[in-house]
Amino acid sequence: MELNARKHVVCLKEKLDSLLDVFIKKLNSTRDEQRLSSEEKMEVVDKLSSYIEQLQNVSKTVKEHCTLSQTFIFFEKSKTELKSVVREARDVINVKAVNNADFIFSKTLDQVSSVDSLGEIEFSRSNSIDSDEFTRLLYPSKSVLLEKSTLPLCYHNISINHSKTVNLKGFTIYGCVFASETIVILGGSETYMGVLKGKIKALDISNGTISSEYFIEETVKRLAYEFESSSLFVSCYGSKLLCLKFVKDFSSQVNLERITESVGGTCVFEKNLYVIVENTVNKVGIEKFKEDVILETCFKTDTVCTSLNGLEIDCKNKRLLYTSSDFGVVCSSLEGHTIFSYKDKNMKSYCLAIFSQGDILIGDNSGSVHVLSKDGKQRRTVIKKCKKVVPVWDICLNKSNTSSVICGTDFIEIYDIVSTK
């Protein structure tokens, strides 16, 4: 453009030289403005990309290591920050940029009196990046994260929806526990070559397939899993308590030898394994499980270990909950002080599971499932009757409280847990 302009002004009088200089300065200024605008847009795009990548990495870490409440607070805060970042980026990216430029020579040079008479730069403008469409992709109208936040679970809004039923014919299932968000470990008994033996299976609830199996001598009653050490604790009929390692397969069985009384419900809290032995709650440090140690008695309970019972830990409130000999639910401190007890003459409960906020999920012998408020004062039914599992022998929740597994003879049922308004 500069060369073309020079060719046209050669024939002009000397007074046009000053006007030409002004024109060149204006051209250079426009070029610099467009370069700065392009660089600014690139910087904003890089900043936005970096922010999104960082948000994804932090979100993954929060999901794996934080409680549901902490995850909710993080997403609420991130939603506001992301909206602000996108808004700032949109304001910069939406500024129109020069797409093409042509020099239009003035036909009235003989009347030149200003730089505009020399000629003008004609621009055709367009936006090379459709930031509005970019924003719609990043911030869709149906986005769960950005448009609406899921309500945190509480007693009044917990809803349980049936997802699938898995038929495990010939496998009587008495215990279940999650070893990851999608892997649940099942324990019970199964006939092998005409002999009834204890059996443990790992089931992927996402596709309903068994990924690993393990035979033991006694029928399994209850299971507890410690995530940090990948340890599976198994209580059995016949006064047996043992430990297995489970990552993808079962291995390294260790028996606790000094138990002579019946064992029942089990749970893990703060590096300790809690287990019901006859009518007491006992504990042993996980790191001592390979040693020849005696269980430490914590306190007496109203339990009967000849049949099934449940024992779970409310991690948030640091308290134990267990099913009693009359099939009620008892909440106790770790030292054995009763906080509340709940009994309904129409219910017969062998098992329970605890939501992260402290509310209790109870399985009923009749095949129904109920939610008990964390103070033990309110109860409501969330499943009137399971599809195939009657009676309910055990029930468990994954760490994110998004899935529940209910088990019984030959069948397990998988349920999605959602919060309703």
Average pLDDT, stretch 48-70? Answer: 82
- What pLDDT was estimated at residue 17? 74
Contact 271, 288 (CB under 8 A): no
Confidence band, pLDDT 50/70/90 cuts, at residue 56: confident
Q: Which of 300, 303, 335 is nearest to 319 (CA)?
A: 335
Query: Per DSSP, what are the bridge partners of residue 172?
Result: 189, 409
- What pLDDT was estimated at residue 2? 80
Q: What is the pLDDT of residues 87-141, one digit of tens each?
A: 777 777 777 777 777 877 766 665 656 666 666 777 666 655 555 556 556 655 5
> Which region among 23-27, 140-144, 406-410 has the lowest average model confidence (pLDDT)?
140-144
Is the model's pLDDT at 47 over the cut of 70? yes
Please report, as a single letter, which amino acid is at residue 63. K
Radius of gyration, CA atoms only, the chain: 35
Residues 6+ apart with CB under 8 A from 373: 155, 359, 360, 379
The token duo for 26 is: 């204006």
* Apex 159 CA angle, 157 and 162, nearest 5: 175
Average pLDDT, stretch 380-408? Answer: 94
**Could you give the residue ranges of the DSSP H alpha helices within 1-14?**
2-9
Query: How far are the Cα atoms of 7, 110, 181, 417 from residue 374, in angstroms, in the given order?
Result: 88, 93, 24, 17
Confidence band, pLDDT 50/70/90 cuts, at residue 46: confident
- What pLDDT was estimated at residue 141? 52
The token duo for 391 is: 């009676």
The token duo for 367 is: 């095949």
Extended strands (E) in 301-390: 311-314, 319-323, 329-333, 338-342, 349-354, 360-364, 369-372, 379-383
pTM (two decimals):
0.64
Average pLDDT, stretch 298-309? Answer: 89
Confidence band, pLDDT 50/70/90 cuts, at residue 143: low
Q: For residues 264 and 106, which has the higher predicted lDDT (pLDDT)?
A: 264
Q: For residues 259 and 390, which has the higher predicted lDDT (pLDDT)?
A: 390
The token duo for 168 is: 């495990």
* Apex 330 CA angle, 329 and 335, nearest 5: 155
- What pLDDT was estimated at residue 138? 63
CA distance 142 to 261: 57
Q: What is the average pLDDT value for the chain, to the nearest integer?
A: 85
Is the model's pLDDT at 209 over the cut of 80? yes
Helix, coil or strand: residue 376: coil
The full DSSP string for 104-169 is EE-S-GGG--SHHHHEEEEEEEE-SS-HHHHHHHHS-TT-TTTT-PPPPP-TTTEEEEEEEEEEEE
The token duo for 104 is: 């239009």
Count the residues in the chain: 421
The token duo for 3 is: 């060369």
Q: What is the DSSP letter of 401?
A: S
Contact 224, 266 (CB under 8 A): yes
Q: What is the pLDDT of residues 356-371, one digit of tens each?
A: 999 999 999 999 999 9
CA distance 128 to 346: 70
